[in-house]
Structure 1
């Protein structure tokens, strides 16, 4: 019986690719004094390539940008600080985010989140999406000292929700770090479909967050009087 729904953040609730595009364009304008010699589209595209959907930390990204584009007068530390200070202003949620979480809460499901990343940075992004009031637990790898796909962080989330892993569904976009890792921890793993992977072995697949309540209804095999 599903009692808790636990989400990944980037690529699942936060449309990170779109957020990055908007942020890096704004950064280019904000720091144009030092970046003007680089064509804007070239700067944006190269950042996106080096960022690799968020799996490369930004100190390495900015070091590489400075080297490739001969950026002078501003350090990679300052570029990174700009990223840490301003990214939260450009967070774009996936469609139906709040509506889906509200529906789950209305039907008495516990809501959790497990996300890899820097503590305060990820917390700022969670708050930017206005979802923090709905969360019954939030685990950020930086603050937990363990990160996905380690099963410890999944089991820890279940413990904090006071449910067994078997009563949890985990929803994420990464086939290994989210879906498979959650399954190995004893949870059901639902894959949030994207263009990076295909042929994923999951307990179910969604393309839109709005599909989730119905899937949980099916998993629980409850009557139509359940989630509405």
Structure 2
């Protein structure tokens, strides 16, 4: 019987690609007097390339942008601070996020988030999505001192939720850091499809968060049948 559902954040609950696109365009508009000498498309495209879907922290991204585009009227530190302060105002949820969480809460599932990243920054984004109230635990790598795919961060979440691995699912978009890492500690690994990968070894695959309650039903049946 499945008792708990734990989620990744970026690319799973938060549509990070759309959020980044919205943010970098609004940053360009907001700071136009300082970066307007760069064509918008170049600024947006280069930021997105350097960001590498969130796997490069923005200090390096902005240092590179300032150097490449010869930005002199604002420092990379100030651009980074703008990112930290403003990104939360551009958070785009995936479709059906709230409906899915409401449904799982109705069923009395224990819910958690495990996300890599900076503590306050990720909390700000979770609050911006309006979803913090649904979760019993939120583990962020900076504050935990460990990050996915380290099994310890998954075990810590399971302990805090007071559930065993085989009573739990983990939903994420990364085949290694999310799906495989969760499976390695005995959890059911569910892959939220991402265009970057074509084949992923997961227990279940979803395109849309709305599919999750039915997937949990199927996982629970399989769990029962395996005993």
TM-score interval (norm. to shorter): over 0.9
Separation in structure 2 between the aligned mates of residue 45 and residue 4 of structure 1, nearest angstrom:
39
1:100-135 deviation line (CA, Å, top 9, x unaligned): 010001011111000000000000000001110000
Following TM superposition, by how much is the alpha carbon of 1:2 offset from its aligned partner in structure 2, in angstroms? 1.0
> Which 4+ runs in 1 deviate beyond 2 A?
none
Following TM superposition, by how much is the alpha carbon of 1:31 offset from its aligned partner in structure 2, in angstroms? 0.8
Correspondence for 2:131: 131
Correspondence for 2:116: 116
Following TM superposition, by how much is the alpha carbon of 1:51 offset from its aligned partner in structure 2, in angstroms? 0.4
Following TM superposition, by how much is the alpha carbon of 1:198 offset from its aligned partner in structure 2, in angstroms? 1.3
1:73-126 deviation line (CA, Å, top 9, x unaligned): 211110000000000000000000000010001011111000000000000000
Q: Is there any run of 5+ residues in structure 2 with no aligned partner, and where?
A: 223-227
Correspondence for 2:148: 148
TM-score by length of 1: 0.96
Separation in structure 1 between the aligned mates of residue 61 and residue 26 of structure 2, nearest angstrom:
17
Matched, 1:191 2:197: no
Following TM superposition, by how much is the alpha carbon of 1:157 offset from its aligned partner in structure 2, in angstroms? 0.3
Following TM superposition, by how much is the alpha carbon of 1:166 offset from its aligned partner in structure 2, in angstroms? 1.7
Following TM superposition, by how much is the alpha carbon of 1:33 offset from its aligned partner in structure 2, in angstroms? 1.4
Equivalent pairs counted in the alignment come to: 222
Separation in structure 1 between the aligned mates of residue 194 and residue 34 of structure 2, nearest angstrom:
35
Correspondence for 1:226: none
1:163-217 deviation line (CA, Å, top 9, x unaligned): 1122110000000000000000111100000100011000000000000000000
Separation in structure 2 between the aligned mates of residue 55 and residue 186 of structure 1, nearest angstrom:
26
Correspondence for 1:158: 158
2:24 aligned counterpart, secondary structure? helix
Separation in structure 2 between the aligned mates of residue 179 and residue 118 of structure 1, nearest angstrom:
21
Q: Is there any run of 5+ residues in structure 1 with no aligned partner, and where?
A: 223-228
Instruction: Please report the RMSD computed on the Cα atoms of aligned residues, expressed in angstroms.
Output: 0.8
